[in-house]
């Protein structure tokens, strides 16, 4: 049987067409697989974009993760409680609905060791705090934390702030605390400090605090100057007493259900970016303190530094609190001693 040239040509064209079509389908399938491998990471915090931790997420974490992953990982950051308050963020990471969050210590009742983040008068200065929370002690607690909460990893510790007190009523000395109402975070250290100083404490979420100050629900609050600025509390507060009673931290936590699905290389990218973010935030925060103080003065806030004598009085007044904490928690004395010994 002879095949005409025309028939042969048609057969060749058909085979070629099938081959090309098959290649296109393979390319499309490969493209779909590549698209499926792309991951979006939701990151939530409760801070305005000017807070050093929030700024470091924008300027360090997001670009470092996206560039190092070649675009396979995309980071979407939600500041100022857009994804919920601190408890919402903590629960979201625990149950896997939020990939990464920056929180303080909403878990300290379940895991009391996290109270170390709010321990009063623990550090020599901000640089000492940075060394502690970017070093071996932080890594050890990260490991213990995951053992306590298997659905969450803790990646890094950054600065919240050196906490100060603000008020609408006169607050320029230790004696001025008596009878005032302060919003305090919902943990026994903060509440105990206010009460030991002769004030009363009321627990109010950060997102509701501006309104509570504006309407007089409370007279004042305790937060670092950076937070007083980022949350615009200076608009509704007249006095700031620079006690620096707590150098508080913020922790970067990640959902294990998300993190465990990443490749080892991607896990390293996220982990390294988290550590770089906190180092940057510590450095920027330490540099910002003098500027923050001047900003508040320029806004009409009366800023009063705490003298050595005032600090000694405050430490003596809150001694019942610290004695109680040491008595209640066997880990507290060894850990605080190790922290104080860090050089």
302 and 240 Cβ atoms separated by less than 8 Å: yes
Q: What average pLDDT does this structure show over 102-116?
A: 95
* CATH code of residue 304: 3.40.190.170
329 phi, psi to nearest 5 deg: -130, 110
Is residue 10 included in any domain, yes or no?
Answer: no
Secondary structure of residue 223 in the 3-state scheme? strand
Q: Judge whether 31 lies within some domain.
A: no
Residue 199 and residue 176: Cα distance in Å, rounded? 9
The pLDDT value given to residue 80: 93
Residue 4 is assigned to a structural domain of this protein = no
**What pLDDT does 6 receive?**
53
The domain total for the chain is 1
Provide the H-helix boundaries in the chain. 5-37, 52-56, 62-68, 86-95, 126-133, 136-148, 188-196, 206-214, 225-230, 256-259, 264-298, 308-317, 319-328, 332-341
Asked if residue 204 has pLDDT above 70, the reply is yes
Measure the CA–CA gap between 100 and 75, rounded to whole angstroms: 10
Query: In this structure, is residue 150 part of a structural domain?
Result: yes
Q: What is the mean pLDDT of residues 274-294?
A: 97
DSSP state letters, 62-116: HHHHHHHTTTSEEEEEE-TTTT--HHHHHHHHHHTSSSEEEE-STTTTTSGGGGG
Measure the CA angle with vertex 190, ends 185 and 193; round to 5°: 150
Is residue 142 included in any domain, yes or no? yes
Whether residue 64 lies inside any domain: the answer is yes
In a domain, 27, yes or no: no
Kindly report, residue by residue over 263-274, the tens digit of the pLDDT. 999 999 999 999
Quick one: three-class SS letters along 281-303? HHHHHHHHHHHHHHHHHHCCCEE
Choose among 282, 308, 306: nearest CA to 177. Answer: 306
pLDDT at 14 over 70: no
Rg of the chain over all Cα atoms, to the nearest angstrom: 26
Calpha distance 155→307 (Å, rounded): 36
Question: What is the per-residue pLDDT across 30-41, written as a single tens digit (0 to 9) for each?
Answer: 333 334 479 999
Residue 18 lies inside a defined structural domain of this protein: no
Confidence class for position 206, pLDDT limits 50, 70, 90: confident
Backbone angles phi, psi at 275, to 5 degrees: -65, -45
Structural domain boundaries, residue 180: 38-341
Q: How confident is the model at residue 238 (pLDDT cuts 50, 70, 90)?
A: very high
**What pLDDT sits at residue 20?**
40
pLDDT at 187: 86
The proportion of the chain whose per-residue pLDDT surpasses 70, expressed as a percent, equals 90
């Amino acid at each position: 049987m002879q095949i005409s040239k025309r028939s042969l040509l048609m057969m060749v064209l058909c085979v070629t067409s099938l081959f090309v079509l098959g290649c296109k389908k393979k390319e499309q399938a490969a493209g779909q697989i590549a698209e499926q491998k792309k991951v979006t990471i939701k990151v939530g915090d409760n801070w305005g974009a000017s807070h050093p931790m929030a700024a470091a997420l924008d300027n360090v974490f997001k670009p470092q993760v996206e560039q190092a992953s070649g675009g396979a990982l995309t980071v979407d950051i939600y500041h100022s409680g857009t994804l919920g308050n601190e408890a919402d963020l903590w629960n979201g990471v625990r149950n896997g609905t939020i990939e990464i969050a920056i929180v303080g210590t909403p878990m300290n009742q379940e895991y009391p060791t996290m109270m170390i983040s709010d321990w009063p008068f623990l550090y020599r200065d901000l640089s000492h705090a940075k060394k502690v929370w970017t070093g071996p002690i932080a890594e050890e607690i990260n490991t213990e934390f995951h053992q306590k909460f298997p659905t969450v990893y803790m990646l890094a510790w950054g600065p919240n702030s050196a906490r100060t007190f603000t008020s609408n009523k006169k607050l320029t000395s230790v004696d001025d605390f008596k009878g005032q109402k302060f919003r305090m975070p919902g943990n026994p250290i903060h509440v105990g400090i206010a009460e030991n100083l002769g004030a009363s404490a009321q627990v109010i979420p950060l997102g509701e605090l501006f309104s509570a100050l504006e309407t007089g629900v409370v007279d004042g609050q305790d937060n670092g100057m950076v937070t007083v600025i980022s949350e615009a509390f200076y608009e509704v507060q007249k006095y700031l007493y620079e006690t620096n009673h707590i150098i508080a931290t913020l922790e970067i936590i990640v959902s294990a259900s998300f993190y465990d699905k990443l490749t080892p290389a991607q896990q390293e990218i996220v982990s390294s970016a988290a550590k770089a973010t906190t180092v940057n935030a510590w450095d920027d925060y330490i540099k910002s303190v003098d500027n923050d103080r001047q900003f508040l003065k320029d806004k009409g806030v009366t800023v009063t530094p705490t003298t050595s004598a005032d600090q000694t009085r405050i430490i003596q007044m809150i001694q019942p609190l610290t004695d109680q904490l040491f008595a209640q928690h066997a880990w507290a004395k060894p850990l605080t001693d190790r922290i104080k010994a860090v050089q």
